[in-house]
Structure 1
Amino acid sequence: MIAALLKRLFKRGTTFALVPMLLNLGTGASGATPTPARLQQLQAQQALHESEAAAARARVAAISAMQVALTQQRIQTAAKLRQAEEATAAAADRMSDLAAQKKAVSAALLVRAAAFAPLLPLIERLALYPSETLLAVPAAPRDTLRGVLVLRGLSREIGRQAAALKQKQDQLDALTTAMAAAAPALEQAEAVQAQQGAVLDAEIASAAASRQSAEDAATAADQAAADDAAHARTLQQALKSIADAHARALARAARLARRAARAGRAGAAAADAQREAELAAPAGAGLGAATGRLMTPVAGKVVRSWGDPTLAGPATGLSYQTPPGARVVSPCAGRVVFGSPFHSYGLLVILDCGGGYDFVLAGLDRLDVSVGQHLQSGEPVGIMAGWDPNQPADRPKLYLELRLNGDPVNPAPWLHARG
């Protein structure tokens, strides 16, 4: 608690005015000059406080340096995991494509088999009793000859149907064999992904255990804003609710700081001023000229682009098809201002990147961040659901939106090309 308090006091260069306070403690109501012994005592106390403050600053600096190092370690681990996820995505796509082809060939095979079924009794009878079949019905020689010619044509058609049926069956057998051959590659890719994912999970858990909410005075305000936004009906209303709540918290901190200063309460004034400064600090540097330089949030491929037609009109974001259990990372440096289920979006995260830019990530299966948490670009945010490559229709999708002052803009130009 002392380290957290001192960190807030010294975070932006705040210093203790210990000498005036201690001298005031040594004077009475009449303003008499303190004795030399009292002055010596006050100076010793001041030296002790300054020593403790210096030690606290050193501890805070060490903790901050450690947090920076751990953050970079998580980013590097997530980047390494991304490579494993790309391999899983390729293997899963291969398996998914084979499954879709197998389903189509199986359906076509059933159609051909159904069309072929009525001919089977005739084929069987002709094979067993060809003469009896031809002579079973008495007819004029000319009609019998015509029947033989028709039967010959029918036999050729039966042959073509049988060949097509065999071709479809061969395709089905080949696809089944290909799926069996592709399965080990997928299993191996998933095993590597799971192993590296476990390393990242351990790093995330360690960071969460060491993170102190007291180091950011804006955390409580962010959580209150997120709670209000959860009741909004639309995403735009939610973003506006967050911005309004943050503005109210900033105004309240400024008001309290002025009130404490007028009342002569130096400690309270310093704490309120620190809170005001933290609330006023931008969550991130904004996107600015970061065109083509932001990291894509997840492994996989874009299956719906900005402006593509949807039931609700042109798409205002991007949709990614992801490998099973893919890790989602932050595209920008910023602060988490929302993280919970939100209507039809599912589990949704909003990242304030600064400069009026907000990234929205929706469709996650698990969150690894909390409201108020500061993130660097590439730092893990959460995880997508797993899925069975043999059932491609059930494949989850990550939805990404970029908003500038609440209005959606095309995020594609900011994201670097996938290599």
Structure 2
Amino acid sequence: MKRLVALLFALALAGATQAQDGPAAEAEAAARMLEEATRALDDASAARDRVKALTQTVRAYEAGLQAMREGLRRAAVRQQALERDLAAREEEIAQLLGVLQSMSHTPAPVTMLHPTGPVGAARSGMILADVTPGLNARVVKLRAKLDDLVVLRALQDSAANRLEDGLRGAQAARAALSQAIADRTDLPRRFTEDPVKTALLIASTESLDGFASGLSQIAADPTGAPGPAAELAKGSLPLPVQGRLLRGAGEADAAGIKRPGILVAAPPRALVTAPAAATLRYRGPLLDYGDVAILEPRSGLLIVLAGMETTFGETGEVLPAGSPVGLMGGLEPDDDGIVPARLQDPGSDWTQTLYIEVRQDNTPVDPAQWFRTDKDD
């Protein structure tokens, strides 16, 4: 019996010796993603195309931070479930430990005696032999749950520094990207913006529809660089931002207003990129849409991206596919070692919205015909 109780305490009180599969493994993988993004940021300064390298770096940070938060959410949910289960069984576990501990203090010669003699001793030994495997199984399950708790708590403690470093790295990458775009001079231009015509158009328009239609009146310079290739496969364009579809074309919002574009939920400070090679027809604030970028992948086709806090580039530039167009607004979560309650909701940090409208020959069409909206990007 002493050996059994010693086994119980050894198993129940042992430290975590195994890494938990699931949330812990995901968090470790996310940490490696952030480390790789940090190395990419260091290498980007020497890259031939700094804008492209830094764009990939910012995307890598976004993916790593998202994966880290998702791992922490799952870890927090798992920890709560374990704590509730152990709390519900607290009395049962305490009774089991108390009985076994009291039996362990009984001198060994006494445990070999039985009031009815050798036959009773033999019978009690057989009963104990039958009970021991069941107790061992319960001890193993208890040890596994305690180990899980130790791993999950250690994970959340260690994640604080990793998240903080990742957030600093992402901010540095965005700042470097903004500077690289400002320094870029090698992009071809189809035309140079006429600020007077643009200002008059903004002043005279009362809707996004009217402004987009009016852009056709600001003709591109026929002597400028050729436009991007016109080959576009419908339904194959990636979403311009790492996000998920929030509302489809023609669906009413909370105020009952219907718009011909789609609405994509995205994390704060998420990078917005050109889904295809396109001419930048307009960038800047417009009405109540925030900063807007209007791209022209080919003649007669416009992609309107509205709701950003910052936009990049110069009107008239021909942007390669995947080029930075802007950044979403908002503040990134100030994460610490204790997972906030909001992190347990998978959608709680997707607080920004990007409005995407596609216009063909001045007529709005469903963006779902052009973009891959059936999964997160």
TM-score tier, shorter chain, comes to 0.5 to 0.7
**Residues 83 and 349 (structure 1 numbering): CA distance in 2 closer, same or farther, change over 3 Å?**
same
User: 1:15-414 counterparts in 2 under 5 A?
Assistant: 73-92=50-69, 183-207=160-184, 210=185, 216=189, 218-221=191-194, 223-231=195-203, 232-246=205-219, 276-278=222-224, 283-286=227-230, 288-310=231-253, 311-389=255-333, 392=348, 395-414=351-370
| Cα deviation code 1:246-270 (max 9, x no counterpart) | 2xxx7xxxxxxxxxxxxxxxxxxxx
Q: Which amino acid aligns with 2:358?
A: L
Secondary structure of the structure 2 residue equivalent to 1:229: helix
Q: Which amino acid aligns with 2:268?
A: P
Q: Which amino acid aligns with 2:353?
A: K
Structure 1 counterpart of 2:139: none
Measure how far apart 1:334 and its partner are.
1.8
Measure how far apart 1:285 and its partner are.
3.3
In 2, the alpha carbon distance for the partners of 1:176 and 1:411 equals 44
**Residues 277 and 370 (structure 1 numbering): CA distance in 2 closer, same or farther, change over 3 Å?**
closer
Measure how far apart 1:381 and its partner are.
1.1
Structure 2 counterpart of 1:4: none
Structure 2 counterpart of 1:64: none
Secondary structure of the structure 1 residue equivalent to 2:218: helix
Q: Any gaps of 5 or more consecutive residues in structure 2? A: 1-46, 78-151, 334-339, 343-347
Contact 2:212-2:362 within 8 A present in 1 as well: yes
In 1, the alpha carbon distance for the partners of 2:317 and 2:361 equals 21
Scaled by the length of structure 2, the TM-score of the pair is: 0.54
Structure 2 counterpart of 1:6: none
**Structure ID, larger Rg:** 1
Aligned-pair Cα RMSD in Å: 3.9
Secondary structure of the structure 2 residue equivalent to 1:343: coil
Measure how far apart 1:318 and its partner are.
2.4
Scaled by the length of structure 1, the TM-score of the pair is: 0.49
By relative contact order (CA 8 Å, sep 6+), the higher-ranking structure is 2
Q: Any gaps of 5 or more consecutive residues in structure 1? A: 1-68, 101-174, 251-274
In 1, the alpha carbon distance for the partners of 2:306 and 2:250 equals 18
The answer to which structure has the higher helix fraction is 1
Contact 2:233-2:370 within 8 A present in 1 as well: yes
Measure how far apart 1:93 and its partner are.
6.0
In 1, the alpha carbon distance for the partners of 2:163 and 2:252 equals 33
In 2, the alpha carbon distance for the partners of 1:220 and 1:308 equals 34
Q: Which amino acid aligns with 2:352?
A: P
Q: Which amino acid aligns with 2:223?
A: A
Contact 2:234-2:369 within 8 A present in 1 as well: yes
Between the two proteins, the alignment pairs up a number of residues equal to: 244
**Residues 199 and 239 (structure 1 numbering): CA distance in 2 closer, same or farther, change over 3 Å?**
same
In 2, the alpha carbon distance for the partners of 1:304 and 1:97 equals 26
Contact 1:230-1:342 within 8 A present in 2 as well: yes
Q: Which amino acid aligns with 1:344?
A: D
**Residues 345 and 180 (structure 1 numbering): CA distance in 2 closer, same or farther, change over 3 Å?**
farther
Structure 2 counterpart of 1:415: 371
| Cα deviation code 1:147-194 (max 9, x no counterpart) | xxxxxxxxxxxxxxxxxxxxxxxxxxxx99997676445334323423
In 1, the alpha carbon distance for the partners of 2:354 and 2:75 equals 23
**Residues 342 and 202 (structure 1 numbering): CA distance in 2 closer, same or farther, change over 3 Å?**
closer
Contact 1:299-1:322 within 8 A present in 2 as well: yes
Measure how far apart 1:90 and its partner are.
3.8
Secondary structure of the structure 2 residue equivalent to 1:309: coil
Contact 2:270-2:327 within 8 A present in 1 as well: yes
Of 339-348 and 309-318, deviating more is 309-318
In 1, the alpha carbon distance for the partners of 2:75 and 2:251 equals 27
Secondary structure of the structure 1 residue equivalent to 2:223: helix
**Residues 361 and 179 (structure 1 numbering): CA distance in 2 closer, same or farther, change over 3 Å?**
farther
Secondary structure of the structure 2 residue equivalent to 1:200: helix
